[in-house]
Amino acid sequence: MLLAIVVGNSNITLGVFDGDRLRMRAKVSAEAERSADEYLVLLYDLLRVNGVDRERLTGCIMASVVPSLTGLVEEAVTRLTALRVIQVGPGTKTGFRIRIDDPTELGADLAADTAGAIAIYGAPLLIIDAGTVTTIAAVDESRTYLGGCILPGLYASAALLKSSTALLPAIALRPPGENVLGKNSADAMRYGLLCGSAMMVDGFLERYRALPGMAGAAAIATGGSAALLTASCRSEITVDPELTLRGLRRLYQLNTAKKL
């Protein structure tokens, strides 16, 4: 069985694959204040609660975008399982070409998203990862990663709007429906954040599809805010919450030549 780990700015997501079946998926908050011992206990408890025998784990791969947490989580995994953790980064075989100024700048999570999306959905593709920030990436028909954009994440934007103003209230984010005319401050903020972000996504998808080799590109969304964000989009977007983990499984296969 394969242990796949995504270390993000807000959360750490764990997945355990038994062959091609995702047997376990769990999420904990990403906190730099925790020690390797604490992460070891968290990992031990999550595996046990989900009925996964750590002795049956045969491999581990991690995509981290938080350097301060990478070593802590890797140490916890190694102490618990005695496995070598494969880190996604420069030198990792991805199965696709990367055509950006510095390919080493491609985030490990985006590399996993892209590998998974190409394997599952083919190309050309538009990949949306809606988490602490929202990223949109374009992959053309030749399976070349062309680049993309980074937008403020929904919850980060809501927190910034509240902290930067004296009179605006804290709000809960929920799909606004068809009516986007706010009749009070809370609804006006909610509609502005959700529909404004959705309009940006729709606009970028339209522009990226006009690029050479991108005609008819399918749009795939993942990340903690994917369902909430895409509910307000007018574009057709497939939400795949397991995309990053499945991409890590694909990268593990490419870099170890092992069958799972």
Q: What are phi and psi of 138, to 5 degrees?
A: -115, 130
Reported as half-sphere exposure (CB side, CA atoms, 13 A), residue 78 has a value of: 12
State the burial class of residue 258 (Cβ atoms within 10 Å of its Cβ: 0-12, 13-18, 19+): exposed
Active site residue 187: no
- Are 200 and 152 a contacting pair, CB within 8 Å? no
- Count CB neighbours of 166 within 10 A: 4
- Are 168 and 162 a contacting pair, CB within 8 Å? yes
- Are 123 and 114 a contacting pair, CB within 8 Å? no
Do strands 237-239 and 218-222 pair parallel, antiparallel, or not at all (unpaired)? parallel
Q: What are phi and psi of 22, to 5 degrees?
A: -80, 100
How are strands ordered across the β-sheet holding 125-130? 97-98, 144-152, 133-139, 125-130, 218-222, 237-239
- Are 257 and 95 a contacting pair, CB within 8 Å? no
Q: Given the residues 109, 113, 140, 240, select the one marked as catalytic.
A: 109
| Active centre residues (catalytic) | 109
